[in-house]
Amino acid sequence: AAGAEDGACAVSALQRRVKKQVAAEAAETAEAAEAAGGESWGACSPWQCGAYHRGMPCQCNDLCRSYGNCCHNYEAVCKPTTSPEPMPAPTLAPSPSPSPS
**Residues near 48 by beta carbon (within 8 Å), at least 6 away in sequence:** 33, 60, 78
The answer to whether the beta carbons of residues 61 and 69 sit under 8 Å apart is: no
Least confident of 12-21, 25-34, 43-52, 74-83: 25-34
* Total residue length of the chain: 101
pLDDT tens for 64-99 read 999 999 999 999 999 755 555 667 777 777 777 777
**So what's the pLDDT on residue 12?**
80
Instruction: Please check the confidence at residue 31 and state whether its pLDDT lies above 70.
Output: no
Distance CA 29, CA 55 (A): 9
Instruction: Please check the confidence at residue 38 and state whether its pLDDT lies above 50.
Output: no
Residue of 27, 4, 24, 6 whose CA lies nearest to 16: 24
Instruction: Please check the confidence at residue 53 and state whether its pLDDT lies above 50.
Output: yes
